[in-house]
Amino acid sequence: MGWLGRSAIGFGVAVLALIAWAAIARSLAPTGNTAQQQFDVLIVLGTPADADGNPSPRELAHVSEAVREYGRGVAPRMILTGGAVHNRYVEAQVMARTAEAQGIPAQVIFQDPDARDTIQNACDSLRIMRSHGWQSAEVISSPAHLPRAAMILSRLPLKWRVHAAPPVEPATPGESMAGSIVEVLKTVHYLVWSRQTEPCALSDQ
Is residue 5 predicted with pLDDT exceeding 90?
no
pLDDT at position 171 is 75
The enclosing domain of 173 has a CATH number of 3.40.50.620
> What are the tens digits of pLDDT across the range 170-205?
878 888 888 889 999 999 999 999 988 876 644 444
DSSP 171: P
Q: Are 95 and 62 in contact (CB under 8 A)?
A: yes
Instruction: Pick the closest to residue 147 from 59, 21, 25 (CA basis).
Output: 25
**DSSP one-letter code for 107:** G
Looking at residue 34, its pLDDT comes to 97
What number is the average pLDDT over the span 95-105? 98
Rounded CA-CA distance 111/78 in Å is 8
Average pLDDT over residues 37-55: 96
Query: Band of the pLDDT at 1, cuts 50, 70, 90?
Result: low
pLDDT confidence tier of residue 78, bands split at 50, 70 and 90: very high
- Look up the pTM and report it: 0.91
Per-residue pLDDT, 200: 65
- Domain encompassing residue 170: 3-203
Which residues does residue 43 pair with via DSSP β-bridges, in sequence order? 79, 139
Return the SS3 of 135: coil
Gap between the Cα atoms of 118 and 189, Å rounded? 12
Q: How far is CA 110 from the centre of its chain?
A: 17
The set of residues, in sequence order, having a beta carbon less than 8 Å from that of 137 and lying 6+ positions away, is 39, 40, 41, 42, 43, 75, 79, 125, 129, 158, 159, 160
CA atoms within 13 A on the CB side of 117: 13
**Residue 199, pLDDT score:** 66
| pLDDT on residue 203 | 43
CA–CA separation, 55 vs 61, rounded Å? 9
**Structurally, how many domains does the chain consist of?**
1
With 0-12 / 13-18 / 19 or more C-beta atoms within 10 angstroms meaning exposed / middle / buried, residue 191 is middle
Chain segment 104-148, per-residue pLDDT in tens: 999 999 999 999 999 999 999 999 999 999 999 999 999 999 999
